[in-house]
Amino acid sequence: MATTFDAIVIGTGQAGPSLAARLAQAGMKVAVIERKLFGGTCVNTGCIPTKTMVASAYAAHLARRAAEFGVVLKHPPEMAGGSGVSVDMKRVKARKDGISGQSRTGVESWLKSLPNCTVYRGSARFESAHEVSAGPERLAAERVFINVGGRAIIPAMPGLAEVPYLTNSSMMDVDFLPPHLVVVGGSYIGLEFAQMFRRFGSEVTVVTSGSRLIGREDEDISAAVHAIMEGEGIRVRLNARCIGLSRHGGGIGASLECTGGPPEVAGSHLLLAVGRRPNTDDLGLENAGVTQDKQGYIVVDDQLRTNVPGIWALGDCNGKGGFTHTSYNDFEIVAANLLDADRRRVSDRIPAYALYIDPPLGRAGMTEAQVRQDALQSGRAALMATMPMTRVGRAVEKGETQGFMKILVDAETKLILGAAILGMSGDEVIHCILDVMYAKAPYTVIERAMHIHPTVSELVPTLLGDLKPLVPSNSSAAKPLVQPNH
């Protein structure tokens, strides 16, 4: 006999808990089911712990540069290979565990304290469209909200079964310095780990099948990120047509063509960061009749409804986002439609995200390549401006002048189409552009705004003053501002 609720929320990622709270507050009897760690990926194995570790890595990096700022460290110079700085990985991990743990227990105790809300531990599985099991429990509800997130893809690479490997989850247990970390994957997650471990003191090699790093970004952004990585001593191996793995000495070897012979890259530890897949394979979706795409993502409409009435999918498992803020935005969209008669839509949102290497990349809207493509197809005239961070006074003062800013606008409407800020505080500065995009205001609003000195943001109006026609072409092969050192 199933226990009946008004709503069942499966998973406590970035959408589920807030939605459970809103539903319970609205007087519904709510069940929340979590099978592992409260708070999900972001809190336990994603954003929060990685950004905590990025902060430790930044401190080590700055300490190594101390003399540039006139600061004298009193460590013996022979420490840590002569840099005078060594990193205590146990303390890095303890700091990370503390911050992540506080967040996790915060989510758990909050959910358990909510009136009208019952928390179940166990792996949820649909028995039918409106019945869900969680261990020995059987629950039923008219509304079911799926927020099960995703996990690292373990690719079918030759030799992978023979070697030990790490993922973003098992990296969280690393409390030692890998002598040589080989990162397979040249995208957002791989690059964040690559730079942080380089700064902790590891040798790092990034191996990717792509012809450039972060292939979704414009070529000049990729090139600048490549230069930043190599500038810190990270080796990058592009165009690996077939990555084969083997045991090599006490560690691992990677061949880049799978043609036999000695490995081309040898390291002590291997991190797989080649993408994510949704946690939908053991959810019993077939029992509910919920449609998935070929990769297992749950198919949803603009209001995040699945094909089955009364079942919604939010967060990474619907393939519409892949970020904490998109998952939280999913919660807002569902709550607005369900409880506030506010017809919010997924299609209302503007793509926005950051890459948390140092300096970070803040992104909003279209890339230059997309704008060029659009210009070719629609004939829409666009303008573009770029500015190297060496022109930003605040960056010069802080000794952090790597990167550049880029902005694209519609020549006719003056609306901002997209922007990339690769540079100091790029993850924050991008918001002054993003908000004007949401306001659907012309770029001249920012151009005329008085920004505070000295900031990176104060140069955004100056950047906009430099807009030039974007000549349509077949590729985004605009001359990179920074060339990689191949």
Ligand X SMILES: Cc1cc2nc3c(=O)[nH]c(=O)nc-3n(C[C@H](O)[C@H](O)[C@H](O)COP(=O)(O)OP(=O)(O)OC[C@H]3O[C@@H](n4cnc5c(N)ncnc54)[C@H](O)[C@@H]3O)c2cc1C
Which residues are near ligand X by CB under 6 A?
Answer: 10-15, 33-37, 40-42, 45-47, 50-51, 123-124, 147-150, 168, 189, 279, 283, 315-317, 322-325, 327, 356
Q: Which of 85/206 has CB closer to ligand X?
A: 206
Q: Which of 130/394 has CB closer to ligand X?
A: 130
**Least distance from C-beta 429 to ligand X, angstroms?**
16
**Least distance from C-beta 414 to ligand X, angstroms?**
30
Which SS3 state, helix, strand or coil, does residue 224 take? helix
**Least distance from C-beta 281 to ligand X, angstroms?**
10
CA nearest to 401, candidates 390, 413, 414, 416: 390
- Give dist(CA 42, CA 142) in Å, integer: 29
Q: Which of 84/362 has CB closer to ligand X?
A: 362
**Least distance from C-beta 147 to ligand X, angstroms?**
5
Q: Which of 51/451 has CB closer to ligand X?
A: 51
Q: Which of 41/292 has CB closer to ligand X?
A: 41
The encoded tokens of residue 180 equal 């040589």
Residue whose C-beta lies closest to ligand X: 149
- Give dist(CA 273, CA 118) in Å, integer: 36
119, 34 contact by CB (below 8 A): yes
Catalytic site includes residue 75: no
- Give dist(CA 382, CA 315) in Å, integer: 33
**Least distance from C-beta 188 to ligand X, angstroms?**
7
Beta bridge mates, 205:
182, 235
**Least distance from C-beta 44 to ligand X, angstroms?**
7
- CB proximity list for 54: less than 8 A, separation 6 or greater: 192, 195, 196, 356, 358
Which of 61, 451, 453, 486 is the catalytic position? 453
- Give dist(CA 265, CA 365) in Å, integer: 37
CA nearest to 205, candidates 225, 190, 227, 216: 190
Q: Which of 147/401 has CB closer to ligand X?
A: 147
Cα distances from 225 to residues 175, 191, 212, 385, 486, in angstroms, run: 27, 9, 10, 19, 13
Query: Helix %, strand %, coil % for the chain, to 5?
Result: 35, 25, 40
- Give dist(CA 274, CA 235) in Å, integer: 17
Catalytic residue positions, numbered: 453
